Amino acid sequence: MASFPLLPDAAPVLSIHICAALTAVCVTPAVLWRKRRDALHKGLGYIWVSAMAVTALSAFGLSGSGLMGPVSPLHALSFLTLWGLWVAIRAIRRGDRHRHQATLRGLATYALGVPMVLIFLPGRRFSNTFFPDAPWAGLMLAALAFAGIVAWRRWWAHPRALSPER
């Protein structure tokens, strides 16, 4: 049976990190899948970019694996996320919609997807909270969900690439 001590006993920086990441995850479909690029898209985009920036910045307040002092290899993803946000904002300000869209879709897929898988590694807080009796189950579910998202994204971006020749 899963117990849920995820946020009440967490350090403030971890609570901020989790809330910002969940905000980004929840807003992602509305920003990416809306047909119209209107004021709602722009407003949700500001929320999404802010949530991603807070998630990336708060990651630096979390302790690493000890491989390189307080920094872990996963912190590189935070640097890449901040860089990607800057590139996307600069692109849309210059009127380069294609680069803006491609950068943010990549961030939505990989900057949210890779950590989604890694937080369910056995022994980590999310794995222990949601899958205490079957630690590999969470990792497998997250990996399958991520693989499905990547496959769908590739098909959606290039539907002819996966369809048979006529």
107: in domain? yes
Residue type, 15: S
Which residues are CB-contacts of 65 (< 8 A; sequence separation ≥ 6)? 72, 73, 74
pLDDT in tens, 74-91: 788 999 999 999 999 999
Provide the 8-state DSSP code for 152. H
Six-digit token string for 28: 């992602």
59: in domain? yes
More confident residue, 151 or 156: 151
78: in domain? yes
1: in domain? no
Residue type, 14: L
Residue 2: band (very low, low, confident or very high) from pLDDT cuts 50, 70, 90: very low
Tell me how many domains the chain contains: 1
Residue type, 63: S
pLDDT in tens, 44-103: 999 999 999 999 999 988 875 555 556 677 788 999 999 999 999 999 999 999 999 999
23: in domain? yes
Q: Give the torsion sign (CA, 137, 19, 62, 145).
A: positive
101: in domain? yes
More confident residue, 81 or 115: 81
4: in domain? no
Domain that holds residue 141: 12-162
7: in domain? no
> pTM higher than 0.75 for the full model?
yes
More confident residue, 93 or 153: 93
